[in-house]
Amino acid sequence: MLVNILLLILFVIILLNKNIIEGQSEGENTIITNIYNIMINKINEEFDIDKIIEEEIDEYIEDIEEYDGKCTNSNIDINPEIKNIMNVYNTSNNLDNLDNSSEEYDILNLLDINVNTNNSIDSDGLNELNNMLYSLNIHINNESKLDETLTNDVIPTNDVDACEMVNIIYDDNSNKSLVKQITDNYGDCYVNNGNDIIKNNCKKSCHILDKTISPCYDHKYSLNNCELANTFIEKNGLYYNCLPLGDTFIEKLCKPIKTCNAHVLKKFGDCSYYNSVDQSTLNCDDYYVEPEEGKYFNCILKGGECTSDIGNNKKLQCFKPEDITNYDNCEI
């Protein structure tokens, strides 16, 4: 803005100088030229235009770098145990293949991260598992432990892209135990939960994912399992829309976008507290409550009562605007 003003002043001076010089004698022109030069020098001394322009350019470059930085991936130190599991994921690209019938296998134990496991596996499942692990030089014997002839030296140590965790946790086919371990330690792409490593360091991966994931519905199903259409649930540190499929429902990953109303009504309370406050300035639906630490619900007026429960075990869970990340203005 300051540079624009200075350029405008300079333009006016040049214009006046041109109009005045025309039709004047050589001596008069010399005087006017000297006055012009003095004014220009004075402006330079007073404002240091070169420095101002340089600072403006530097600030512009910083703004661009900061903007570009919103959508880059950074290096992350990840737990070696999770790194080993990610190697398996990248090899098989389907951790649910580790399931044995209806009993879910714990891949952490299968990789001998905790070798004292008593899990059993049939021969077909063991062969399938060892085929998956062959390229990583891992072999599991019939006691569900690493072969005793193998040492830690052959456990995969190759580097993996830590932000590949984004693809893993948002893959519907990923092993749920692994998803929970990642979100417990590194968070997710959207919600602040105290472990915001993925959200803060994998913006590029999260931005790419964001284009493919749908918003969560407005209503959370309190029983936290998919039994009701047009609701969402929370599990394994992520959020899932409940979609009807015949007589049952499927869980589809979603992104939380519903923000809380403007004012908190009561911490560790419910919306009925609205009956005890001054109702002359704010309505029920101007408030939200925090019945437990980090969980927020919007209030609505229903049947003359202020509540966050709209019936049928549905609640209006919300998120503080500063606690959710929006990637709409993020470019890569």
Q: Delimit the domains of the chain by residue range.
A: 2-69, 80-209, 263-315
Strand spans (E) along 72-123: none
- For residue 154, the model assigns a pLDDT of 38
Check pLDDT > 80 for residue 180. Answer: yes
Taking residues 281-296, what's their average pLDDT?
Answer: 91
Taking residues 249-270, what's their average pLDDT?
Answer: 91
Q: Which two tokens stand for residue 280?
A: 């002359």
Check pLDDT > 60 for residue 102. Answer: no
Higher pLDDT, 114 or 295: 295
Lowest mean pLDDT among 26-30, 129-133, 223-227, 231-235: 129-133
Taking residues 121-138, what's their average pLDDT?
Answer: 55
Nearest to 289 by CA among 321, 323, 318, 314: 318
Measured over all CA atoms, what is the biggest interatomic distance in the chain, rounded to whole angstroms?
108
**Token pair 């624009």 in the structure block, residue:** 4
- For residue 256, the model assigns a pLDDT of 94
Tell whether the torsion through CA atoms of 52, 57, 58 and 62 is positive or negative.
positive
Give the span between the Cα atoms of 274 and 278, in whole angstroms.
Answer: 8
317-332 pLDDT per residue, tens? 999 999 999 888 877 6
Q: Label residue 155 by pLDDT band (50, 70, 90).
A: very low
Q: Label residue 133 by pLDDT band (50, 70, 90).
A: low
Check pLDDT > 70 for residue 269. Answer: yes
Lowest mean pLDDT among 40-49, 226-235, 238-247, 284-293: 40-49
Distances (CA, A) of 252 to 216, 221, 226, 231, 238: 9, 14, 10, 11, 10
